[in-house]
Structure 1
Amino acid sequence: MPNEDTIKLLKECYAGAKMGIDGISRVINKTENKKLKSLLQKYLKDHERLEEKIQAELKKFKDEEKDPNPLAKAMSWVKINVKLIKGEHDKVIADLMTEGCSMGIKSICKYLNEYSGAMEGIKVLCYDLVEIEENFSKDLRKFL
């Protein structure tokens, strides 16, 4: 049976993956550069695959997902829409996604430290999310 740290960490990891999916989904159709769009599609799929794994673990533990913080989602929506008004969508999108990756890495690492008693298999899912975010951020650099 999972301990409390395991459930809490799993829920935070789920919320992080959902936040990534939400952010990418908001900008993908506003992208003009085909290479950037392809990159966004790849990382959207990576986030969705990880989300499914996390969701399966939550179901195994008979627990529910945690949605991203509504305030964080609202702030993300406002930031994306305000910045995209200025033009140069692809550079703005790459910048926004890079910022999102940094915030996601910081958040997951914080929760890994906070819920250090979580099961190792669940920590691995969080490390997978951090790796996805790190790689996404690196791949975005050429579009900044």
Structure 2
Amino acid sequence: MDNSTKKLLEECSVGCKMGIESMEQVQHHVTDAGIAGVIEKYCSRHKELEAEVSKMFLRAGQPEKEPGVMVSTFSWMTTGVKMVTGEDENKQAVKIIMNGCNMGIQSITEALHQCKDASSESISAAKKLIRMEENLRDDMQKYL
């Protein structure tokens, strides 16, 4: 596996895992059935894409990168603090998810531009993740 492909797949893997982690964190605070349904649908889609990326690493005999401990810890702490600010928990969950989508779109798009020589399969996975994040953000926006 060449370096560009590896870097792009690592970004996709970490992006999926962070998205899943964030959705699972806020899910416990959501009482609106519509929001909960959107979160559940996209959490499942992120898990499916993460499994596809894992298979690409496995086929290449490469270890899969995990999100850094500091990044995960910061994410948990930030979500916890935001959820207890006194604002409606459903709205807070929507904002957290939308902010995460925007960060994911930015980091994957940046990696895509830096890894122009990556395999077509990894580029396809990155584009799929970007579309998924855009769709999740747009679906969440109607709950603000």
Normalising by the residue count of structure 2, what TM-score does the alignment of the two structures yield? 0.95
1:42-95 deviations in Å (ceiling 9; x for gaps): 000000000010000000000111112332222211111111112310000000
Unaligned runs of 5+ residues in structure 2 are none
Among the aligned pairs, what percent are the same residue? 29
CA shift for structure 1 position 117: 1.0
Cα distance in 2 between the residues matched to 1:128 and 1:64: 22
| Cα distance in 2 between the residues matched to 1:60 and 1:111 | 22
Query: What is the alpha-carbon distance in structure 1 between the residues aligned to residue 140 and residue 39 of structure 2?
Result: 9
Amino acid at match of 1:5: S
**Residues 15 and 65 in structure 1, CA contact (< 8 A), matched pair in contact too:** no
Match of residue 140 from structure 2: 140
Within-5 A mapping of 1:49-88: 49-87=48-86, 88=88
TM-score when scaled to structure 1? 0.95
The equivalent residue for 2:117 is: 117
* 1:39 corresponding residue in structure 2: 38
1:98–1:137 contact (8 Å) kept in structure 2: yes
State how far apart, in whole Å, the 2-side matches of 1:105 and 1:98 are.
11
Matched pairs, number: 143
Q: In structure 2, what is the equivalent of residue 106 of structure 1? A: 106
Cα distance in 1 for residues equivalent to 2:78 and 2:127: 27
